[in-house]
Structures are given as C-alpha cells and as structure tokens.
Amino acid sequence: MTSKEILAFITDIGIVPVVRTPSADSALRSVEAIYNGGVRAAEITMTVPGAVRVLEKLADRFGGKIVLGAGTVLDPETARACMLAGAEFFVTPSLRISTIEMAKRYSKVICPGALTPTEVLTAWEAGADIVKVFPCGNVGGPKYIKALKGPFPQIEMVPTGGVNLENTGDFLKAGACAVAVGSELVDAKTIKEGRFDVIQERARQYLAAVAKARSEMHAAAGA
C-alpha cells in the first residue's frame, strides 16, 4: 500500500487501537480480538516486550488483512527496525524531526506527537501525515481539538489520551480525522482475566460510535 492508501485506510476506519500490553502473547491475542471485532488497524507500542518480533508475527499472520503500526517510536532507528518488521505507520509520543524524515524517506505514514499550536504546525511542516495530539484529554479533550482546528483546518489530527466510547463521537465532530484508543479498549485487567472476547466487543462498539458520529455529521452537513 502507498502512504496515501494507508492514510485513507486509517481515516476510513476512524479508530486506531493502541496495544500496550505486558507480554508479547497478550499483544498478539489483543490484535486478534481487535481484528475479529472488525477493526483492521492496530498500533503495537515499543513498550511491549519483544515489540519488533510481535510486529513480525502479526505481519506473517495477517498479511495484507490489517494495517500494522508501531507506537511509542522515539527515534529513526526504531522506526526503521519496525518498518522492516512490517509496520506501515509510525506513531511517536513527541516531536522528533529525524523520525519524520525516516518515515518519509520510505513513503510510510508518520503520526508524530504534539500538543501546542507551535508543535502541531512544526510537525505538519516537517511532513507529518497526521498529527497526534497528546495528551489530549488532559487539556480539554474535544474542545481542544476544535480550538486547534480553527487556525489549522488543513492539518489532520488524531487525539490520543482520554479517548473513550462516550467522547469518540465528540472528537470526530470537533474535527479529528480519527481517534486513538488505548486502555479504554485494551486494558491490563481484561487481559489478566483472559477476556479477549470483551476486547473484541469493545472494538465493535467503537466502530459503531464512529459510524454514528459520521452519520450525524453527514446529516448536519446536508441540513
């Protein structure tokens, strides 16, 4: 897939599950549950033990059926290792220009973390495909995205941190192109209990929330 196709695919789904688990096995099982719930994208964070190997296993298992991303990527070297393992998009917690350059060199999608208006614009000017606004929930949630979209309507944004089932629609209506969901979808307690069916059902619920919000937005635009 080209970077444009990957970007369109992620935006179309509207949700990026952030898989941050205590073991490689639980990460693999979580992605399987997310996939069975209908979500065709997943971000494996570098805090997962053996994260690069997890990406390799998922790429082998799911082939072209799911778009895999690497999260918590702190430097270009890590981005390159994840790329070779099968990651198609990269998410960083902070703004590092050299990591953006690495992704662009190989025509992969890069979603660097930023928070302030200056960081958001700097990330975009450096070549970000989407700017991850993090930690969004701590600074106003959907209202903060709406405030940023005022001066930056051209910048695609994905809020991370504080996104849940109740406010997913609000984030999209505020102007986010998608939302990134972490522990509200894949959490330690559910994993410890082995309840991957719960994660599967949550994935379905998030897709339904995205569809509902977009339907309401479409209706409002046509009114």
Tell me which of 57, 88, 108, 132 is the catalytic residue.
132
Q: Two tokens at 166?
A: 């109740």
- Residue 132 among the catalytic residues: yes
pLDDT at 223: 63
Query: pLDDT tens, 139-189?
Result: 999 999 999 999 999 999 999 999 999 999 999 999 999 999 999 999 999
Q: How many CB atoms lie within 10 A of CB 109?
A: 25
- Of 32, 43, 88, 156, the active-site residue reads 43
Task: Please report which helix (H) or strand (E) contains residue 191, including its range.
Answer: helix 188-192
Q: pTM of the prediction?
A: 0.95
Q: Which residue has the tokens 């969901």?
A: 181
Q: Which residue has the tokens 């994993």?
A: 191
How far from the centroid of its chain's Cα atoms is residue 93's Cα?
11
| Residue 156 among the catalytic residues | no
Reference 89, options 36, 153, 147, 18; nearest CA is 18
Mean pLDDT estimate for the chain: 97
Domains of the chain: 3-222 (3.20.20.70)
Give the closest residue to 69 by CA, choosing from 50, 46, 93, 49.
46
Per-residue pLDDT tens over the stretch 175-201: 999 999 999 999 999 999 999 999 999
